[in-house]
Structure 1
Amino acid sequence: MFITIKEILALPLFRESKVIAGENSVNRRVQWVVSVYNSHFFSQVKQDYLAVVPNYILNDINIERYLKDETIAGSFSGLLIHGRASPERKKKLIDFTREYGCPVIEIPDTINFSLIAKTILNEITARQVSFLQYSETLDYQLSKAILHNQGLNKIAKTLADSIGRKVRIFDNEFNIITSASPKDTDGADYYPISAIECQKEVSALVESRLIEKVRGSKIPLKILTMDKKGIPKQLICKIHAEDQELGYISVLQGEKQFTEFDLITVNHTAAIIGLELLKNKTLMYTVTDTTSRFISEILTAPKTDTNELKEKVHYLGLSMVQKYLLLSIDFYNGKRDFIIAKLKQDLGDMFFPIIGCVDDILVVLFPLNEDYEFKAISERLTKKHKSFIEKGLNISIGVSVQPRKLLDLKESYKEACSALKIGREIFGEGFVVFYDDVRIYDLLLNVSNRELLTELKNRYIKKLVDYDAANLSDLVHTLEVFLHNHLNYTRTSNDLFIHRQTLRYRLQRIKEILNIDFNRYTDVLGMELALMVNNLDKKGGVDRDGKR
């Protein structure tokens, strides 16, 4: 599975590129593309790798040392220089290629790395498809789907239409990626396809020990499940590519028995899906690793608008004037890759997220222009988080206050991480917290004299807390909901599912216990702050002595 440099140069994206050295070596083959973000990344370049080198890297004093290392220089296929090289730089590169015969190509700086990698990897993957031996009709249909970059959804639909059965594609952890129904059905599902139903099915597979057979199978088309409680009759085919196990196809049997043609069709489709999954996975790794290094640099380096920074921003297809909303995502069950893929799939149609990983925290940048976009993404995030939780992906999300330019993202990162920290104090795990909603909590957590917080709690709500404990009542919660609803009786009674008269009785009892007046602003403010301290206290944020 490879492409030559000469063939890469013939692709439309590279028509304005120029070979400045090693013209006689353009028939070298390329199996992978890597970004040389810093000069020491040359040491990670392997056999048949094409190295994409940003122009600013050529100024690095260490580059000559790496290029003169025979082990390194003799391994990669060629160098793509992002941007026009100066005459002095060209001379050094020509001297280098004279010794090792390595092609050096200038590419316009208007092309960003993500597009370079995607174009070349798509072409490599497409070439592999032509070597697969399967029926002429299926070959045409599936090749069209993948060569036109129509993705897994189209491939799954092509398979479903070809064999007249419902198809599901899972990742390696049996999270559903996509599904399709045949075109000749009236839409009535003989088995529901949803994330929740699929998770129930996987649980049933685990209980019946069938999943061990599926995962342990060396032959892709081995497992045909029988009708059992929670498990439909289906053919489960393991998806392989490049010796990696990437997922599973599940084809539901329905009313028809599986034929030999069905088995061959599913087998060939599994090979194509494997290539598509491998392409998506490796492209995601490449782009995510590159953006991770850049995001980490932006969040830690001094705030300086240098030419080198501008080159990096341009190289990654970002903008110095664009504003970005920043999210920090904490994940607890090691499914980083799946979370990244789902974020891009479910939010990328509208907001085009830039995702990196900094200190085991996912950092997501959303380019936003208007306030309504902030509201829209907030709503989508909340819904998406709920679906993650339903799939058993226990993640927490901290959101910064507002979109900012790249050079100001340090403040956004601080806000998002503070939102995560406060969320852990209050909710534990599995939440979405907007920093703007919890900045008062941040203020309370940073009060140096913790005894003041305990005094605040004792003054305004301690008697009520003690009353609830002694009488097994829940007046503290009633007070909290009432204050949250800005002292509105109707909304509070609706939220608590009680009659207005019952609410009035409870509030009268609260006033008597605490000796407060809801018409006095200082009392209302004091109770709100005291309840916040109480929430932190319950989660270990502030102890009984006023210490964290």
Structure 2
Amino acid sequence: MLITVKDVLELDGFKHARIVAGKKGLSNIVNNATLMEVPDIFPYVDTHSLLITTLYPIYNNETATNELIPKSVELNLAGICIKPIRYIKEIPPTMIKQADDLDFPIIELPQDANLSKLVTEILELSLNKHINILNFRNHVHESLMKLFLKGEDIDSLVNNLSEIVKFPVLLLDNDLNITHMSKDLEEQEVSIISFSNNHGNNRFKVKVKDIEYEEEYYIKHYINAGKTRFGYIVLLKGEVNNQSLIVAVEQASLLIASVFYKNYAVLEKEKSFQDAFIRDILQGKIDSPIDTINKAKTFGWNMEFPEVIMIAKLLMEDDKKKKLLYEYILDSKYIEKILEEKLLINSNKIKTVYIDDSIVIFINVIFMNNIKENCIEVGKLIVERLRDKVKIGIGISNTAKDMDSFSLAYKEAQSSVITGSILNQNSFVSHYSDYEMFNIIKEVKDIEILNRYVNNKLGKIIEYDKVNDMRLMETLKVLIEENFNVKKSAESLFIHYNTLRYRIDRIKELGIKIDNGFEVGELVLAYNIYLWLASNQR
């Protein structure tokens, strides 16, 4: 418990002392006491110190006397005890007015007060309270450590802490979601009301039924293990101010962090096994479908068919930030929460895993109508939610009807991401069936034949774009998508109609015929071969 000026006045040595000014400062914290034996006392005094003096060092210095109270307040001292009569007849009225104005306590000591003994008494009080805090800390540590060594879970630690401190306790993750709470809160409606500040720190209020706990009515402490932050421990103390509660929360956070880290290490190991297992599936390394389905269940994956594979790839250069964002999306189950929130897919129908710099999402579509349209809607929702954070590409496969189809579906989703990244400068959703011509193109075994065809039909445009900033390949792409409707193509490109006419003239000058139907057909085929080659080279 913190010692205040009010507590000091209850000591035996202060029985006949009286507060003569600054009564509103009686709640000021007192950490120690200092005898004022020299005029320039301030370099030697600590914050929250209670100054004790006869004013002898400055009694004949009017300037120093007038500056004593303001400087004491500036240094955040607790107050001042003055013994008058011997060197000063009374406490100067100027000091009393200053103290009242600044809510700085002035305590008048009786004539027989022994200043040294008063200092000793205050220090003993401080020491005893400090010892009590240490004893309480040890009690909390020992109680929680016993549970920890028994292998008890986090709920047990939270409930034990709540019982010791006699206040409700809850744990939050880094997104301020409630993950655990003490039993006294389980039957109540508890919510977190978050609000950001200019420094980007997480600030919040805790609402329990109709009661809102502002920041000053709860104790918050980070749950850290090394460089990993798991969230916060929050103790709802109300109006009680007790140093022991802070110490208890600090001790609890250390042991809870240890449990989190142990669980985290186990999950990381499991994740490693899971990733290897799923990688084998995607590579077609399956010995027994039944064994594979059963093994999938151990990783929380209810593998049923048909399934669709969706790949979410963050398109950013900063590898460090990208890794952190991938971890955030996976650890917080960000994608699962989005889909459940919109009632599109239950989380038990989804499996997400990080593979090869992307998140692979397996979606059970057994009861889904309009599979392609709904999967595209899912992809667009993910893109929309992450739009402010990062540029993202979503690739969607055709339906995998059985386990042997997973490998092909994975390649389709990969190809869709690569093709989408070629065609789009911003975030996108790309479905493999939109490029069905790829199924025909991939049957051509001699890649050189495809390269020659593309070079023959589009080579001049490709080379022209390398040295000129006219973006003719992009122009050709939009013309194809808009069935060579010049007006619609100009609108899609966000350029003036005449600018597009000029680009079309340049395309024609390069020997590309877009007025002949047969030539246009070959042009569309060449363009799709170009995309397929680019996606496979990636």
Normalization by structure 1: what TM-score? 0.48
Q: Which structure has the larger Rg?
A: 2
**TM-score with structure 2 setting the length:** 0.49
